[in-house]
Amino acid sequence: MTQRVQWAHDLVRLEIVLWDHVDSRLKEAHGLSLASFETLWVLKDREMARVGDLARELRITMGGASKLADRVRATGLIERAVDPADRRATQIALTAEGRAMLAAATATYDAAMAELLDGVISDDELSVTQDVITRLLRDPAR
């Protein structure tokens, strides 16, 4: 294999390890899946967002984002409303309960990541890695 193929192969495996670890910690501590957390995280700095924004941010289909939003809404963590500017679109927003859950779950998420990363990657390496990830996600189809 070429170095790029091995890098991508390992990166996908790492994503699975991270997902499984954080997902189990969030479920244990809060009864919250990582997919639901990701929905809350996308909304954390927004007053309202369209379901399409959620789909783009999470890189999932519109149908998948709609179903995910419905599942999270059923838990009372987000609310859904018709977009007044486009009645065909739906907007979503965090509820007060959703904001509280996000704060608690973020601490759990951070602790779960510390379990995996502390002693393996330095803060400087983490910053460099984050910069690379951010650049790659900015334009993945280059």
Instruction: Round to whole Å and give the CA distance between 73 and 90.
Output: 13
pLDDT tens-digit readout, 67-107: 999 999 999 999 998 888 888 888 999 999 999 999 999 99
The band of 49, judged by pLDDT with boundaries at 50, 70 and 90, is very high
Contact predicate 101/30, CB 8 Å: yes
Q: What DSSP string runs through 28-55?
A: HHHS--HHHHHHHHHHTT-S-EEHHHHH
Check residue 130 and give its pLDDT.
95
Check residue 106 and give its pLDDT.
98
pLDDT tens-digit readout, 106-137: 999 999 999 999 999 999 999 999 999 999 88
Instruction: Round to whole Å and give the CA distance between 37 and 68.
Output: 11
Q: Which of 138, 139, 141, 136 is nearest to 11 (CA)?
A: 136
Check residue 119 and give its pLDDT.
95
Beta strands, E only, the chain: 49-50, 78-83, 86-94
The band of 37, judged by pLDDT with boundaries at 50, 70 and 90, is very high
Check residue 7 and give its pLDDT.
93
pLDDT at 1 over 80: no
| pTM score of the predicted model | 0.90
